A and B are shown apart, each in its own frame.
Chain A
Amino acid sequence: MGIKRIVIESYPILLACILVALAAGYMLNSSIAEITELPLILSMIPPINGIGGNIGSILGARLTSALHIGTLKPRLRKQRVLRRNVSASALISFAIFSLIGALFFAIAYFSGIPVARSLSLALAFFIAGMTLSAALMFVTIASAFVSFKGGLDPDNVVIPIVTAIGDVLGVTCLFMALKIVGV
């Protein structure tokens, strides 16, 4: 493939992803007062988006392979392969968001934030992460099934959709969880 063709074919997709990610950027900018008050929030953004994106991408890759080789049918009932993959993703999410949440408790506490507030911060991170995981698993399954049924190659569809939506949802879940827990 020539340089020109790669550039021309890739630019429109990149543009679409930029537009979606700008929504996440706008959300960060409109929460600048909270960030000024509690800069630790910034530390939480790459981990929550990164972990969410990874969990969605890995589930997407596994479901896509299973659809291709035929061990998975694009429907929700009686799908053992689907159920087991989703359980594994949920377990991994729980383990990682607990561990990184605990790490955030330590970081907050040792940077001089009182124990109760450090705990609330860690809890908010955990709640945001689990909510994001659940939402992204749903998006992953839906986009894998819909693209497979529509005759598109899920390999080319699922991961860009999951990572773009994950960035916006990650920031949204984090600020919502911080409000709910009342940090």
Chain B
Amino acid sequence: MTREVNIRAIVVQGLPILLLCALIELGAGRVFEGMQEYFTTILPGLIVMVPPLLGLRGNINGALASRLGTGLNSGLIKPRLAMSTEIKVNLASSLILSLIASATIGVFAFGVNVLTGAPTIGVLELMAIAVLAGFLSALILAFLTVLVAILSYARGWDPDNVTSPTMASIGDFVTIACIYLAVLLVV
């Protein structure tokens, strides 16, 4: 059986979800814009950390979601909202990775600023903001990822076309909001 690739079907099915994602990203953008003064005057050098923190969040949760997906499909994880050992191991690894990688981002961002001669706040301030933002967003998004993975498995949502794009956009929004919160707490 050869399934014909139907352009119309791909567009009609993909567009609404991607439009929703774009609107969530626009919300993230408005929060980002709201932090403008912190980047330009109050905390110079801070903006260097934003793309790595967003990327880190996407990578860790993407990997978590795909490990959960594999676990659910192979029957290793039961589609119930209870804390099994498998889910605990996956959650704990995501949180530990977030802490280590966020601290790394703080150090490297400071390095980039010093090497390029850009004005910068101290390495400890950068690390504090990165770790706080990284850990807060990891905590919120790890639980959300588990919830959505189990729900989407139970309801048969397509992981490639529905769950992953939506979680990536929500991840960006939550991460930027957490960076803002971390900045307010540290300053």
A→B interface (CB under 8 Å): 1-3, 6-7, 10-11, 13-15, 17-22, 24-26, 28-30, 32, 35-36, 39-40, 42-47, 49-51, 53-55, 57-58, 61-62, 65, 71, 80-81, 84-85, 87-88, 91-92, 95-96, 99-100, 103, 159-160, 163-164, 167-168, 171
Contacts and interface: CB of A to CB of B under 8 A. Distances in A.
Interface of B: 2-3, 5-7, 10-11, 14-15, 18-19, 21-22, 24-26, 28-30, 32-33, 35-36, 39-40, 44-45, 47-52, 54-56, 58-60, 62-63, 67, 89-90, 92-93, 96-97, 100-101, 104-105, 108-109, 112-113, 116, 118, 160-161, 164-165, 168-169, 172-173, 176
Given A32-B47, A46-B28, A51 B54 contact: no
A32 B39 contact: yes
Contacts of B113: 29
Q: Which one of A29, A61, A85, A91 has the highest number of Cβ atoms from chain B below 10 Å of its Cβ?
A: A29
A39 B36 contact: yes
**Secondary structure dominating the interface of B:** helix
A65 B7 CA distance: 16
B107 to A, nearest CB: 10
- A-side interface mostly: helix
Contacts of B51: 21-22, 24-25, 28, 49, 167-168, 171
B172 A61 contact: no
A51 B18 contact: yes
Nearest to A61: B160
B89 A3 contact: yes
Nearest to A69: B3
Given A15-B104, A43-B26, A85 B36 contact: no
Contacts of A62: 10, 160
Given A43-B32, A47-B29, A84-B5, A22 B52 contact: yes
Contacts of B58: 53, 163
Contacts of B36: 35-36, 39, 42
Given A25-B48, A25-B51, A88 B59 contact: no
20 contacts: A3-B96, A6-B67, A14-B59, A15-B101, A17-B52, A22-B108, A26-B116, A28-B47, A29-B48, A35-B39, A43-B29, A47-B22, A50-B28, A51-B21, A57-B168, A84-B6, A84-B7, A85-B10, A92-B18, A163-B59
